[in-house]
Structure 1
C-alpha cells in the first residue's frame, strides 16, 4: 500500500533504502483517473448511449450541467486497492517559472521553481492569495473558480525538503532540488470523454493512436482562447498534446460550446481580479478542467461537471488602492498592457467577425457590471477607472489595426 501520513500532514520521508516506485505512482494516477471517469459514466447513465459523442461533450462543457456528487475512493469506506510501492510525485505540467507535480491520491499539487525563479514563485503565492480572498469575498459565487493556495516553501525549509525531496522523480542538473515551492489545490483534468473527442477532432489521424495511449494526455486542461481563431486550412500540429491544450475560438464554435457564457464568466473574473484583489492579471490563465472533488459534506448535493479555473499569478503586479486616484493613468496603462500581453483568453474589440463582436460586448458588459458592483463600496475616485480601462483597450486595438499590426498585437511577446 502507498505510504502516507495522517491527513493534513506532510508525506512520509522514504526510509533508508526504500525505493521510490514511479511505476506504481503512474499506475495509481491512471487508476484514480479511471475511477473518476467511471463515476461520471455512472452519473450520465443513458445519456452516454442516447446522444452523440459531440453533443455529450458540449453539454459537459456547458458549465451548467449538474451531476450527482459521488465520494472519491479516498472518502469511501471500501477504497480500491492501491498499487504496492512508494508513491511519489508525478509531473503533470509546467509553467514559465516552475514544474507542477501531483502525488496521486492527494488533493494538492506542488509547483517547484525553476532555477532563477524563486522570487517569481513568491510573487505567485502572494498574488494568488489576494485573488483567492477576492473571489471568496463575493456575495454570489463567481462562475470561474480559483484553486485554493496553501503555503509557500523556501528552498531552505529543511524539514519539508527532508520529508519530500526523495519523493520527486530522478533529478537532473537543470532542475536541482531543493528549490522554492508552493502548494495549491489540484485542478482535476477534463474527463476522458472530452479528451477522446479532442483527439478525434483535432489530432492528425496518423498520431491519434499515440495520443490515446499517452499517459501525459490524462493531464488535460484546455486553455480558453476566446481571442484567437486558427487560420483557415491551418495544418494540425505535428506534436499534438492535451497538456495545456490551446482551445481556439473556432474549435469551441465547432464543438458548439457556450462561448458567450465563457466571455461573461471571464469578464466577471477579470473585474474581481482588478478591483477587489488589486492585481493586474498579467499572464494569468483561464482553463477548462473538471470541477473539484466534493468533500464528504457535499456528497449529498449535485455539482457541476466542469469549470473554468483561473491560475498562474507569477508575473502579476499588485497595487495599493490609493494608486487609483494618485496615478490613475499609470494604473490604466499597466492594466491595458497586462490585458494585451496575456495569451489570447480575452475577446478583442473591433473584430472582423460579427459573432466575435458579440463576444467582446458580452465580456465588456459583464466586466463593467461587476466592476461597478465591487467599486460601489470603495472610494468614488475609483469609480470611473473600469470604463477608462475598456476605452483604453479599444483605443489601443484601433490604433494597432490602423498601423496594420493585426488583432491583439503584443509589444513584448510578439
Structure 2
C-alpha cells in the first residue's frame, strides 16, 4: 500500500508505504489530487458550539499554546509560539502513529487528532484580539484527580504544597524516570505540567518499573511499527481515557487521506475527519487511578528500518532525557529500572520486527547504541547527526 505525501511550494513529493518510508520520487504532475466537499463552506471555520463557555489556557510549549472550553473533551492547539515548529507535522505524525498501532496492544495512551485548519480557511477564537493561525483539535488528556494531584504536590513541591493545593488548576504530571530532583526553585513549577522526578515517584511507592516497561514497549512500537524516532516526545500521567476512538479501518483510511493532502491543508470541513466530541470530561476527584500518556510529536522524524535508523532513534532518546531510564550496570541502584525498560523494549521490538519481516537484530542494535550514546554524552562527546525529513520543511521550503 502506498501513498503520496506532499506540501505546497517545493517540498519533496514522495511515494511512501503506509509507514512513510520513501519508495521513489515522482514529478509534481504525477501527484494524485483529492477533492474536498466544501460547497456550503465559508472561508472561516466556525468554532464548536462548546465555545460559548469560557476559554482557558492549559499551557504553552515550544510549538504552540493549548486551550479548552469549559470541561470539553478536546483541546485546541494554536501554532503561535514558534517559527520553526509546525502543527501540520504533529497532526500528520499523530495520525500516522494511531494508524500504525491501531491493531497492536499498547499500555500507553496517545491523544486522538481530530482536525486541522490553516489560513485562509481557518478556525477562530471568539476573542477578537486573537489572530487566526494554524490550529489543531485533539483529544484532551483528562487531568489527574484532585486527590492524586495533591499527593504529588506534597512530595514534588513540599515547600509550596499548601498554597498549590488551593489552586483550581488542572494537573498533568511529566514522568522523569531518568532524573532525580537535586534542588531548584519549586515556585517556578506549573501544576499544568508538573515535573515528577524518580525519587518523588519512589517516595510515593509508585510502580516505576511498570512505567519503565511501558516506556520501553512504546518506544519499540514507535520505532519499528510506526517508523519514527520519537524525538522530543513527553510521557505524562493523567486520568484514564474517556473519549472513544475510531475503528482501525477508519484510522488507516484517514492517514492515507492526510498523506495525499498538500502541506497545511485544512481538514475540518471534509475528508471524513472526526469532529470535536460533544461530551464533557468527568473526573472523579477522589480517584487514585492514573494512566500513562504520550504527547508532542511535532519534532518526531522518520527512521529507516536498518542500523542507521536504530542509531537515529537512539540519539533521539538520549536527547529526550530525562523521561526514560538511563543505562546502568548490575551493581547500580537503578539497575532494575533500566532492566525493566530494556527487556520490555527488546521483547516488544522482537515481536514487531518478526511480524514485519525486518532484521531481527534491530532492537538489540538500538539498545547497544543507546548505551554507547549515553556514555558519550556523559563524557561530553558529540553525538552523531542525522538528516531530518521529509515530514517537516523549514519556512524557506514551504
TM-score, normalisation: structure 2: 0.69
- Is 1:210 matched up with 2:194? no
The answer for the alignment partner of 1:42 in structure 2 is: none
SS of the equivalent of 2:339 reads helix
- Taking structure 1 as reference, are residues 238 and 294 closer, same or farther at Cα in structure 2, changes over 3 Å only? closer
Superposition map of 1:40-189 within 5 A: 86-114=52-80, 116-117=82-83, 120-138=86-104, 141-158=105-122, 160-161=123-124, 165-166=125-126, 168=127, 171=129, 177-189=131-143
Structure richer in helix, relative to its length? 1
The answer for the alignment partner of 1:200 in structure 2 is: 154
The answer for the alignment partner of 1:29 in structure 2 is: none
Contact 2:377-2:383 at 8 Å conserved across structures: no
- Is 1:292 matched up with 2:241? yes
Contact 2:65-2:81 at 8 Å conserved across structures: no
The answer for the alignment partner of 1:277 in structure 2 is: 226
1:156 shift after superposition: 2.0
Structure 2: state its 5+ residue gaps. 1-45, 245-278, 386-398
Report the Cα distance in structure 1 between the residues aligned to 2:356 and 2:178, rounded to whole angstroms.
Answer: 31
The answer for the alignment partner of 2:214 in structure 1 is: 265
1:315 shift after superposition: 0.4
The answer for the alignment partner of 1:222 in structure 2 is: 173
Report the Cα distance in structure 1 between the residues aligned to 2:384 and 2:205, rounded to whole angstroms.
Answer: 33
1:410 shift after superposition: 8.2
Structure 1: state its 5+ residue gaps. 1-8, 15-85
Report the Cα distance in structure 2 between the residues aligned to 1:385 and 1:352, rounded to whole angstroms.
Answer: 24
SS of the equivalent of 2:223 reads helix
Q: Bigger relative contact order, structure 1 or 2, given CA contacts below 8 A and separation 6+?
A: 2
- Is 1:357 matched up with 2:357? no
Aligned with 2:360 (options 383, 389, 396): 383
Report the Cα distance in structure 1 between the residues aligned to 2:222 and 2:147, rounded to whole angstroms.
Answer: 32
The answer for the alignment partner of 1:21 in structure 2 is: none
Report the Cα distance in structure 2 between the residues aligned to 1:304 and 1:411, rounded to whole angstroms.
Answer: 42
Q: How many residue pairs align between the two structures?
A: 300
- Taking structure 1 as reference, are residues 316 and 145 closer, same or farther at Cα in structure 2, changes over 3 Å only? same
Question: How much is the aligned-residue C-alpha RMSD, in angstroms?
Answer: 2.9
1:116 shift after superposition: 4.2
Contact 1:211-1:240 at 8 Å conserved across structures: no
SS of the equivalent of 2:116 reads strand
Contact 1:202-1:236 at 8 Å conserved across structures: no
